[in-house]
Structure 1
C-alpha cells in the first residue's frame, strides 16, 4: 500500500526537530532509521500529518566515553554500534543483542534510538536497556531531561517520550569485569523474539557477586527479573545455583498468548533461556 499524504520536515538541529514536533502536534511522528515506522505507514496503521526526519542530525550519531559510562547518540546505527571498539570493550551485552537485531540490511539503517523509542515488547534492545540501568536523555520544549530505562518503557509501544520530545542519547554504564550474554528464541531467522533474555554477571572468588537479568516479550514492556537476581547474589557459580535461580524467571511477568506462542510456552522458554544466558554470562559449566 501507499502511505497517506504527510508533510515532510528534515531539521538540521535538535531544537529545530523539537519545534517541528511542537508545531505538528500529536499527529507528528519522528523518523529515525525507519525500519519500524515505514512498514506501519505503508499499511496505514499510522497516518501522521507531519513526518520529522532526524537523518540530518549528525550530532546524534556517535559513541563517546564519559567516565563510568558510554554515551551513544540516538541516531547511531546498529551496524556502527557493532563496529565500535568502545562498545565492544565496555558494553558487550549491547553488542551481543544488537548483533541479533533483524538482518544486515535492517542493522545498516535502523538506529538504537529508533529501536528504544518504538518500544516493541519483542524488541531486543529495550530489554538490554532495562538490564543495564541505561539512562535516556530527552530533548523537549522545556529543555533536556533524563529518564531511567525502568521508567522509560510505559506500556505496549508506549514510552515516557512526549509528542513534542526527541530521544537524544542513551547513557550505558560500563560493564568492565562483568560476563554478559544475550539469549533469544525465534522460530525463523530474522523474526521477532518469542522470548529473549539479557544477562550480566559479576563473579568474585567463585561466587556470584552481582547479577542483572531482564526478559523480552514476557509482558507489555521489558521486565527485570528481580527474583532471579536475588537468588544469585552470594550463590556459588555453579549450574545448580544458576538452574535454581532461573526457576524464578517468570515471577511478576504477564506473557501474552499470540499466533507465535502461548503464555505457558513463553513461561517455559523464560526459564530455559534464563538458565542458558546466566551460564554463558557467568562462565558456568555443567560438572
Structure 2
C-alpha cells in the first residue's frame, strides 16, 4: 500500500516548525527519521493531511556535556549516539541500549527524539530516559518547557507534550562513583521490539551497599515503568546479600495490564520480565563492584 496524500513541509528553523504545528493543528504530524511513522503511513494505520519534516533543523542535532549532565539533540541519530565516546563514558546505559534498536539501517535514520516522542512502551530509549531521570526539552509558540521523564510518558504512544510542542532535546544526568548499568531484553528476533525487558542503574557506596538505584521495565505495560517499590526495598542493603531472582520477582509482582497477544500470554511476559530484571541486576552490580 501507499500513504494517503499529504502536504509536505520542510521548515528551516524550530520556531518555524512549531508555528506550522500551531497553524495546522491535529491535521499535522512531525516526521524525523520516519522509521516508525513511514510504515504506519504506508499501511494506512495513520493518516495525516500534513507532514512537517525536521531533517533540515541542524539546531536539533548534537551531543554536549553540560556540567553533571549530557544534552542530546532530538534530531541526533541512533547511530551518532552509538558512536559517541562521550555517551559511552558518561551515559553507558544509553550506549548499551542503542545496538538493540532495530538494525543498522534503522539506526542510521532513526533519531533519539523520534524514538522518545513516539513513546513505544517496548522501545529502548524511552525506558533508558525514564530509568536515568532524563528531562525532555520542548518548544512551542508559548516558549520552552522542561518535562521530567517520570511525567512525560502518559499512555500507549502518548506523552505529556501538547500538539504544538516540538521535542528539541533530552538531558541525561551523569552518574558518578562506583556505578553499574545493564539492559536486558527478550525479543522474537534480533531487531524486534522487546516482548519484555529491563534496565538497571546502580551505585554502591564504599561499603558496597546500594547507594542509588533505578530499575526500569519495558514491554510489560502501556508505558515504560520504574519499579520504585523494589528500588526502595534494595536501597541501603549490601549488594552481596541481594538475590537477583528476588529483585526480578519483586519488580514484576505488582504489574498490571501486562499485554498479551499471539506471541505470549501476560503471565509468560511477566515471567520473562522477572528473568530480564534478574540478569540486568546481576550484570549492573558486578560492574559496580569491580569499579
TM-score, normalization by structure 1 = 0.96
Q: Which moved more, 1:189-198 or 1:29-38?
A: 189-198
Give the structure 1 partner of residue 218 of structure 2: 216
Quote the offset at 1:230 in angstroms. 1.4
Give the structure 1 partner of residue 185 of structure 2: 184
Quote the offset at 1:56 in angstroms. 0.4
| Cα gap change, 1:217 to 1:28, in 2 (>3 Å) | same
Q: RMSD between aligned alpha carbons?
A: 1.4
**SS at structure 1 position matched to 2:250:** coil
Query: What is the rounded CA distance, in whole Å, between the counterparts of 1:62 and 1:260 in structure 2?
Result: 38
Q: Which moved more, 1:240-249 or 1:32-41?
A: 240-249
Quote the offset at 1:240 in angstroms. 4.2
Query: What is the rounded CA distance, in whole Å, between the counterparts of 2:3 and 2:240 in structure 1?
Result: 54
Query: What is the rounded CA distance, in whole Å, between the counterparts of 2:105 and 2:265 in structure 1?
Result: 30
Give the structure 1 partner of residue 195 of structure 2: 194
**SS at structure 2 position matched to 1:15:** helix
Instruction: Specify every segment of 5 or more residues in structure 2 that has no aligned partner in the other structure, as ranges.
Output: none
Query: What is the rounded CA distance, in whole Å, between the counterparts of 1:251 and 1:147 in structure 2?
Result: 29
Give the structure 2 partner of residue 229 of structure 1: 231
Give the structure 1 partner of residue 260 of structure 2: 257
User: Contact 1:24–1:49 at 8 Å: present in 2 too?
Assistant: no
Query: What is the rounded CA distance, in whole Å, between the counterparts of 1:21 and 1:117 in structure 2?
Result: 15
Count of aligned pairs between the two proteins = 285
Give the structure 2 partner of residue 143 of structure 1: 143
Deviations 1:66-97 (A, max 9, x none): 10100100000000001111111100001111
Give the structure 2 partner of residue 266 of structure 1: 269
Matches within 5 A, 1:4-153: 4-153=4-153
Query: What is the rounded CA distance, in whole Å, between the counterparts of 1:282 and 1:170 in structure 2?
Result: 26
Quote the offset at 1:48 in angstroms. 0.7
User: Contact 2:60–2:73 at 8 Å: present in 1 too?
Assistant: yes
TM-score, normalization by structure 2 = 0.95
Give the structure 2 partner of residue 277 of structure 1: 280
Query: What is the rounded CA distance, in whole Å, between the counterparts of 2:139 and 2:120 in structure 1?
Result: 22
**SS at structure 1 position matched to 2:45:** coil
Query: What is the rounded CA distance, in whole Å, between the counterparts of 2:195 and 2:58 in structure 1?
Result: 34
Quote the offset at 1:14 in angstroms. 0.5
Quote the offset at 1:113 in angstroms. 0.3
**SS at structure 1 position matched to 2:5:** coil
Instruction: Specify every segment of 5 or more residues in structure 1 that has no aligned partner in the other structure, as ranges.
Output: none
**SS at structure 2 position matched to 1:269:** helix
Quote the offset at 1:167 in angstroms. 0.2
